[in-house]
Amino acid sequence: MRTQSTTSVSATTLAEIVQDYTERGWTVAETANGVCLITDENISGVEVTGELAATVRTFLQVNNLTGPVIEFPGAERREVHLVTGIRKAALAIAALRAAGATVHTDGAGVPLPPSRVSASSATWGVAPADARWTPPVVALSAAVRAVTSQRRPQLASIAS
């Protein structure tokens, strides 16, 4: 289910949203542009774009691995998958970065719905309440590896 954010959010509603995020154990900050997730060792974000974003999302859905996903408007598909387990996943993080993903961690801010800036208005592609879990970063890295390995041309050898 997709939850759309609105451009004007009442203070009461915003306070309730912040409370919901906080109750999930997330560190959040209210900024002039809305609410931001402050990444830490417990919750981080992996940003994928374009065709990679589409194929990763499909892979995760087919395998029932989808967690919370934030979508951003623009000419190219852009989404941030929220993940856990970043502390002990150096190889997974390196593989994600090598595949073109951006890993938001160590205090980086990730806009959360609702966002007040139209150019970067965040919406939930998969809301936290609709997600089965928040996957570990290694699961997302495995999904990226699976879909990128399927896109590589297969070399065939010809027997002489």
Domain ranges of the chain: 11-147
CA angle 59, 65, 69 (to 5 degrees): 85
Cis amide leading into 114 (omega within 30): yes
C-alpha distance from residue 130 to each of 1, 91, 139, 154 (Å): 7, 29, 18, 37
Q: Tell me, what's the pLDDT at 120?
A: 55
pLDDT for the residue numbered 34: 83
pLDDT < 50 positions in the chain: 1-8, 119, 154-160
User: pTM of the full predicted structure?
Assistant: 0.84
Rounded distance between C-alpha atoms, residue 26 and residue 114, angstroms: 15
User: Is residue 98 within 8 Å of 18, Cβ to Cβ?
Assistant: no
Q: Is 160 helix (H, G, I), strand (E, B) or coil?
A: coil
The H or E element spanning position 105 is none
Asked if 28 contacts 43 with a C-beta cutoff of 8 angstroms, the reply is no
Span 32-50, pLDDT tens digits: 878 999 999 999 999 999 9
